[in-house]
Amino acid sequence: MAALRRLAPIVGLSLALAPAPAFALKTDVVVLKNGDHLTGEVQQLERGHLQLKTDDLGTVEIEWDKVASVAAAAPFDLDDLSGNRYMGSLVPGPAAGQMLVVWAGRTDTVELANLVRIRRLNKRWWKRLDGSVDAGASYTSASELFKLDLSATLGWERPGYEVSANGSATLSSQPGIDETRRGSLALGYERRFEGRWVALLKGQLEQNRELGFDLRSSAAGGGGRYLVQGRSDRLLAGVGLSVNREKPVEGESTTNVEATAAVNYDRFAYDFPKVDVSVTLAGFASLNEGGRYRLELEAAFKRELVKDFYASLRGYESYDSRPATEGAAKNDYGVTFALGWSF
């Protein structure tokens, strides 16, 4: 099994690059506990719902606890509550509530109730992209204060790893007052292992004149573990090292080495209206500038309005005990209401 899991990324890449037939019959079968049979193409199990693409009904979302069995010949990547990973075709199990995962002459029996994620491997690369775009703006006539907030996320997942990109920008403008800008662009990589362990890499560019720097570029690496990985919530904790280069609003650029620790909690409800709650707290302690530490807190609440469109409430708090520019503020915080689209 260990050798099979090591081969999973190679096999998955080969399948992704293989030419697709001119047409493909949707012959996967999902049997519900009430006895109904649905035929289509199983796409994924995510957040407690099985996504099935059908010819007549379009793409339907099926609550996982209502599924009795799944039969699909295509290869899939699967994760369970304990962090075990499997790869292969899906076959109804010998007993109620069980599924067989078959690959290269090996068969594993898994409990349906224990599965938290299923991903189809032979999907085109663009069909494996997930993302969202948010935009919010406000204007106060009394003070002539204009504020614009933009954010976007993009994720691409393959067997055993995920690449993500996200960016955000906040611009505030008011006559007679210096314009304030806060922006961030990050690229992340997460490699998953047995037992819910992960390796993490992240590169980031930031600007926050309120906290006294025009540009902070950083690269961080470390490891962590999903302390909770369920169908309705996830909790990830990680530690690592970060190296950054800061260009202050005033003064010379400096290089900093920091120890970092972070926790991220996500909770989601997939029935309409879909609701997502996400909270991330990260701490940084400088190893070459004694007494300096930073905290970053981000929280978001998203509620679906109509399919793929939602309203969101986002908040952030940044703290630096010793800002890059002397006399700059130590805190920067804000709350934004925005409308968004997910894909």
Other C-beta atoms lying within 10 Å of the C-beta of residue 182: 20
pLDDT of residue 127: 67
CA torsion, ordered 124, 127, 131, 133, to nearest 10 deg: 110
Closest CA relative to residue 206, chosen from 287, 144, 298: 298
* End-to-end CA separation in angstroms for the chain: 34
Query: Residues with Cβ < 8 Å from 27, sequence gap 6 or more?
Result: 39, 73
Same domain, 100 and 193: no
Same domain, 38 and 61: yes
What stretches of 251-308 adopt beta strand conformation (E)?
Answer: 254-269, 275-286, 293-306
Same domain, 253 and 333: yes
Same domain, 68 and 153: no
pLDDT of residue 149: 92
Using an 8 Å Cβ cutoff, are 65 and 50 in contact? no
> Could you say which of 123, 146, 163 is where a domain stops?
123
pLDDT of residue 218: 97
Closest CA relative to residue 199, chosen from 223, 164, 218: 223
CATH number of the domain bearing residue 323 = 2.40.160.40
Closest CA relative to residue 5, chosen from 61, 65, 64, 84: 84
pLDDT of residue 123: 67
Mean pLDDT of the chain: 86
pLDDT of residue 207: 93
Q: What type of residue is 295?
A: L
Same domain, 281 and 186: yes
> Could you say which of 99, 123, 147 is where a domain stops?
123
What is the spatial distance between Cα 85 and Cα 87, in angstroms, rounded to a whole number? 7
Same domain, 113 and 150: no
What 8-state DSSP symbol labels residue 94? Answer: S
Residues spanned by the domain of 193: 127-342
* Total number of domains constituting the chain: 2
DSSP secondary structure, 239-255, as one string: EEEEEEEEEESSS--EE
Q: What type of residue is 284?
A: F
Same domain, 66 and 87: yes
> Could you say which of 89, 104, 123 is where a domain stops?
123
Same domain, 71 and 155: no
Same domain, 42 and 108: yes
**Which residues of the chain have a pLDDT value below 70?**
1-25, 123, 125, 127, 142-143, 178, 270-272
Same domain, 67 and 149: no
- 230: which 2 tokens? 């369920």
Other C-beta atoms lying within 10 Å of the C-beta of residue 142: 5
pLDDT (tens digit per residue) in 208-254: 988 999 999 999 999 999 998 887 889 999 999 999 999 999 999 99
Using an 8 Å Cβ cutoff, are 302 and 310 in contact? yes
What is the spatial distance between Cα 278 and Cα 255, in angstroms, rounded to a whole number? 31
Using an 8 Å Cβ cutoff, are 237 and 227 in contact? yes
What is the spatial distance between Cα 199 and Cα 305, in angstroms, rounded to a whole number? 35
Closest CA relative to residue 259, chosen from 224, 227, 294: 294
What 8-state DSSP symbol labels residue 121? Answer: S
Same domain, 51 and 185: no
